[in-house]
Amino acid sequence: MAERELSPGDWGFVASVALELGIKYFKLTGGEPLVRDDIVDIVGEISERGGVVSIVTNGSLLYKYAKELAENNIEHINVSLHSLNPKIFYEITHGRLEDVLRGIEEALNNGIRLKIDYVVLGMNYAEYKDIIEYASKYGIDVNIIELIPLGIDIKQYHRLHKPLDEIVKWLEERAVKSGRREFQSRPVYLLDTGIKVTVIRGFCNPEMCMSCTRIRMTPDGMIKTCLFRNDTIVDARKHILERNREGLIKDFIKANMLREPFFKPDSRCPVNVDDRYNG
């Protein structure tokens, strides 16, 4: 796959065309984007063209790249922090908590705005107050994310999944203000510590799905309209490599016309996302 990955220059071209079409925000996700040794160049190529760039990372390599990312105008970084207990953290991620905490510190020291992504599981459920307390200490907003049955065995999903109802109730009781973000209709709670906590429930949530304006592109240049769908992919690779601006514009327009919510008010909730995802 590495030989098919788009180069930093390719991503700069994609960004320049997307900006023409009114797409301003660019989020680099994964897998893990920081395993690419040219990730700083990619951020620079997009930001130089006027794009607002953010990254979603597991944080294990962030301490190596924080300074350069700041110098290349990264707008913010989402860091996955699913536990503050080293043993539980390793059980979930097979990574080292100390590396992630070091990365968070380096990012903050370089003036990078952070968000914490905390996926709730049975094994880390009791830590939500600790995660929020840690984030409040550093002024970092938090995304509390419900696990979705995508890419994992349905039995494993039921073993790991934990509903967010108790956490939401706790947030409602302690928030000094609450609202709803327009993008994906996400509920947001402002705490008295000054941080915002967003609750993300992506499974069987038509309201969120129908409010989504995100469009995705794979590392090799496929436009993917929805995380859950494989039947609306547009192959834009050829037009990108050829620097065919008009061709890529048509690809984006075609992909946008193919957009369709995965979850709808009148649709039945599948037992497993993969059942419909593989369609």
3-state secondary structure of 192: coil
Residue ranges of the domains in the chain? 24-213
Residues in the chain: 279
pLDDT at 95: 95
| Domain with residues 24-213, CATH architecture | Alpha-Beta Barrel (3.20)
Annotate 216-261 with DSSP letters as a single string.
EE-TTSEEES-TT-SSSEEE-HHHHHTT-HHHHHHHHHHHHHT---
Cα 98 to Cα 50, 63, 95: the distances in Å are: 34, 11, 9
List the pLDDT tens digit at each of the 279 positions of the chain: 566 899 999 999 999 999 999 999 999 998 899 999 999 999 999 999 999 999 999 999 999 999 999 999 999 999 999 999 999 999 999 999 999 999 999 999 999 999 999 999 999 999 999 999 999 999 999 999 999 887 778 888 889 999 999 999 999 999 999 998 877 678 999 999 999 999 998 777 777 788 888 899 999 999 998 888 888 899 999 999 999 999 999 999 999 999 888 888 876 766 555 444 433
